């Protein structure tokens, strides 16, 4: 009987120490906002004054790499390793589920006395055992699937008929019907929760993962109206309107952090999860391509880190990535990583770069990073990953970017959600409909050509050969850990089942 008491006293002691010496963490991650979707980055139309202000007060990683799509990036952030090694090779078809053997940053933070909360998009498994309350989160306020209202056969689906306006959200196991716009709801709930943790004098990790500005593009009418009459088209008007709303919410939340007297004790991190979408036709910061590609326009992200009095605002050009997020926060919070967590970490701590003074020369050895769009077979299950080994993949060092952008051969026709193989049904296409994609490598010298306009593979065959060898060795490491390939899914979306059980619909 004394063990629980001692454990409680120990946690209280740890909490008091953390509150005094280690930062609260406020992490904001937007969905499908591109690097160019920020006025401070040169966007000629979009206005983001609060995000611009946050940027000006932060350490800014100008060459920060993420994954080409959403669920992969989220798993890499939480685990410190490439998404394929977490079993995440798609955004649907059970391949969005973060492997149950993966240890998370939030589990380590909980052990270190932090309270943890997620507000918005999870997208790493909708079945009960994959839910955030089983992966290190104390407070859960989320929608299902990869977007509000999305639904696919199998494990990935939201509440039926859910909308950006007044969405039904899962709050600590119970569905609640909200009355406002989705982004407003996520920020409001996060703010309320943060206020409670501050009052209780407990350190916190607040993860606000907005559904916006992901498609379908539904902004509040007054926000979309700000961009009407500029020849943008309805989608981009709404896309920019959604970002305007995010910007306003960020401003309100940071003002509240200041009013609570915790600004100097709180590390604020802002990122986007992958390359841009509806805004790239207006401005793409000089980059090639967009979300869902292995080019820089698909994988470069904003990464702003603000800790007043601790971090000096400046640009950092060192090559950094999403896999660095977890080891960095573990070090900043002095949170011990379990042996299993240590064994899976592939990233580096960014602390030396974050705590440097502008102009200081910090040793940062070159590194090799890998990108793969995944999604072999598109919307069809039971496809051998080998068919897509060289499709939409890339290898990066600080200077070089080797890209194979060839798509899998066959089927030529567009495949829709109706073609997904549902449990008990025969898919209209089989693995035999796909052939292994031959590599079509292009090499870009990013020091001279960040826009990836000129293929220099013929001039540097030795570089191409070396990077292909690194890619093949990496792929070999990943294959045994792709545990969700061909995994059976539930007969019905778990969110739908739970919703029906609770509300009878």
- Asked if the structure places residue 258 within a domain, the reply is yes
CA distance readout (Å), 92 to 89, 295, 400, 501? 9, 22, 31, 24
Q: Which residue has the tokens 């739970």?
A: 498
User: pLDDT > 90: what percent of the chain?
Assistant: 86
- 174 and 293 fall within a common domain: yes
Lowest mean pLDDT among 19-23, 180-184, 186-190, 367-371: 19-23
- Asked if the structure places residue 487 within a domain, the reply is no
User: pLDDT > 70: what percent of the chain?
Assistant: 91
Q: Which residue has the tokens 């000006």?
A: 56
- Asked if the structure places residue 343 within a domain, the reply is yes
- 308 and 409 fall within a common domain: no
> 236 and 36 in contact (C-beta within 8 Å)?
no
- 343 and 398 fall within a common domain: no
Mean pLDDT estimate for the chain: 92
What pLDDT shows up at residue 504? 84
Q: What is the pLDDT of residues 88-117, one digit of tens each?
A: 999 999 999 999 999 999 999 999 999 999
- Give per-residue burial for 34-58: e unless 16+ CB within 10 Å, then b: bbbbbbebebebbebebbebbbebb
What pLDDT shows up at residue 409? 62
Angle at 55 between CA 51 and CA 56, to 5 degrees: 120
- 457 and 380 fall within a common domain: yes
What pLDDT shows up at residue 380? 84
> 73 and 32 in contact (C-beta within 8 Å)?
no
- 329 and 474 fall within a common domain: no
What pLDDT shows up at residue 431? 65
- 345 and 377 fall within a common domain: no
- Asked if the structure places residue 496 within a domain, the reply is no
CA-nearest of 167, 176, 177, 104 to 138 is 104
What pLDDT shows up at residue 408? 67
What pLDDT shows up at residue 406? 82
- 332 and 438 fall within a common domain: no
- 426 and 326 fall within a common domain: no
Q: Could you tell me the residue range of the domain that residue 44 belongs to?
A: 22-354
Class of residue 222 by CB neighbours under 10 A (exposed 0-12, middle 13-18, buried 19+): exposed
Angle at 370 between CA 366 and CA 372, to 5 degrees: 165
CATH number at residue 260: 3.40.720.10
What pLDDT shows up at residue 418? 42
What pLDDT shows up at residue 415? 40
How many structural domains compose the chain? 2
What pLDDT shows up at residue 377? 85
What pLDDT shows up at residue 94? 96
- 132 and 37 fall within a common domain: yes
Tell whether the model's pLDDT for residue 17 goes beyond 80. no
Query: Cα Rg for the chain, rounded, in angstroms?
Result: 22
- 254 and 347 fall within a common domain: yes
Q: What is the mean pLDDT of residues 416-428?
A: 46
Tell whether the model's pLDDT for residue 126 goes beyond 70. yes
- Count of beta carbons in the 10 Å neighbourhood of residue 159: 26
pLDDT bucket at 10, cuts 50 / 70 / 90: very low
Distance CA(28)–CA(323), nearest Å, equals 16
- Asked if the structure places residue 504 within a domain, the reply is no
Q: Cis peptide leading into 216, omega within 30 of 0? A: yes
Q: What is the mean pLDDT of residues 413-437?
A: 54
CATH number at residue 449: 3.30.1120.10
- Asked if the structure places residue 53 within a domain, the reply is yes
- Asked if the structure places residue 488 within a domain, the reply is no
What pLDDT shows up at residue 19? 41
CA-nearest of 427, 422, 438 to 386 is 438
- 87 and 183 fall within a common domain: yes
What pLDDT shows up at residue 497? 96
Distance CA(284)–CA(450), nearest Å, equals 12
Lowest mean pLDDT among 45-59, 200-214, 369-383: 369-383
> 175 and 502 in contact (C-beta within 8 Å)?
yes
pLDDT bucket at 39, cuts 50 / 70 / 90: very high
What pLDDT shows up at residue 413? 45
- Asked if the structure places residue 262 within a domain, the reply is yes
Higher pLDDT, 366 or 5: 366
Which residue among 297, 323, 354 closes a domain? Answer: 354
pLDDT bucket at 421, cuts 50 / 70 / 90: very low
Q: What is the pLDDT of residues 440-495, one digit of tens each?
A: 999 999 999 999 999 999 999 999 999 999 999 999 999 999 999 989 999 999 99
Q: What is the pLDDT of residues 227-263, one digit of tens each?
A: 999 999 999 999 999 999 999 999 999 999 999 999 9
What pLDDT shows up at residue 419? 46
Q: Is 84 helix (H, G, I), strand (E, B) or coil?
A: helix
- 459 and 340 fall within a common domain: no
What pLDDT shows up at residue 6? 37
What pLDDT shows up at residue 379? 83
């Amino acid at each position: 009987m004394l063990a629980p008491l001692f454990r409680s006293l120990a946690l209280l002691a740890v909490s008091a120490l953390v509150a005094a010496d280690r930062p609260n963490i406020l992490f904001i991650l937007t969905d499908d906002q591109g690097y160019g979707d920020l006025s401070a980055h040169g966007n000629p139309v979009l206005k983001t004054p609060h995000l611009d202000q946050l940027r000006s007060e932060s350490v800014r990683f100008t060459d920060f790499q993420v994954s080409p799509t959403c669920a992969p990036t989220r798993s890499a952030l939480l685990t410190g390793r490439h998404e394929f090694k977490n079993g995440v090779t798609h955004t649907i078809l059970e391949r969005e589920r973060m492997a149950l053997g993966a240890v998370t940053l939030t589990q380590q933070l909980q052990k270190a006395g932090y309270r943890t909360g997620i507000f918005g998009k999870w997208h790493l498994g909708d079945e009960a055992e994959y839910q955030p309350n089983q992966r290190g989160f104390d407070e859960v306020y989320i929608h299902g699937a990869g977007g509000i209202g999305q639904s696919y056969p199998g494990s990935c689906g939201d509440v039926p008929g859910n909308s950006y306006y007044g969405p039904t959200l899962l709050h600590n196991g119970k569905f609640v019907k909200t009355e406002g716009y989705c982004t407003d709801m996520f920020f409001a709930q996060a703010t309320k929760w943060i206020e409670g943790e501050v009052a209780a004098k407990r350190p916190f990790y607040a993860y606000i993962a907005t559904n916006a500005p992901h498609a379908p593009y539904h902004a509040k009418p007054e926000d979309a109206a700000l961009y009407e009459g500029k020849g943008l088209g309805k989608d981009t008007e709404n896309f920019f309107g959604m970002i305007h709303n995010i910007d306003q919410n960020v401003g309100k939340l940071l003002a509240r952090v200041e009013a609570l007297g915790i600004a100097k004790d709180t590390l604020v991190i802002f990122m986007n999860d992958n390359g841009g979408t509806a805004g790239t036709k207006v401005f793409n910061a000089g980059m090639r391509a967009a979300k869902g590609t292995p080019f820089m326009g698909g994988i470069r992200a904003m990464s702003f880190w603000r800790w007043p009095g601790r971090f000096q605002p400046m640009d950092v050009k060192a090559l950094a990535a999403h896999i660095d997020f977890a080891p960095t926060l573990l070090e900043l919070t002095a949170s011990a990583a379990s042996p299993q967590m240590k064994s899976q970490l592939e990233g580096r701590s960014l602390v030396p770069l974050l705590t440097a003074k502008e102009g200081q020369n910090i040793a940062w050895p070159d590194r090799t990073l890998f990108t793969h769009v995944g999604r072999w077979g598109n919307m069809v299950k039971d496809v051998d990953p080998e068919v897509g080994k060289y499709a939409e993949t890339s290898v990066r060092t600080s200077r070089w970017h080797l890209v194979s952008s060839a798509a899998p051969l066959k089927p030529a026709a567009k495949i829709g959600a109706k073609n997904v193989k549902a449990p008990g049904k025969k898919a209209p296409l089989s693995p035999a409909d796909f052939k292994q994609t031959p590599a079509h490598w292009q090499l870009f010298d990013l020091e001279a050509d960040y826009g990836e306009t000129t293929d220099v593979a013929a001039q540097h065959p030795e570089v191409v050969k070396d990077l292909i060898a690194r890619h093949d060795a990496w792929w070999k490491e990943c294959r045994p850990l792709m545990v969700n390939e061909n995994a059976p899914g539930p007969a019905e979306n778990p969110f739908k089942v739970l919703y029906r059980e609770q509300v009878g619909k």
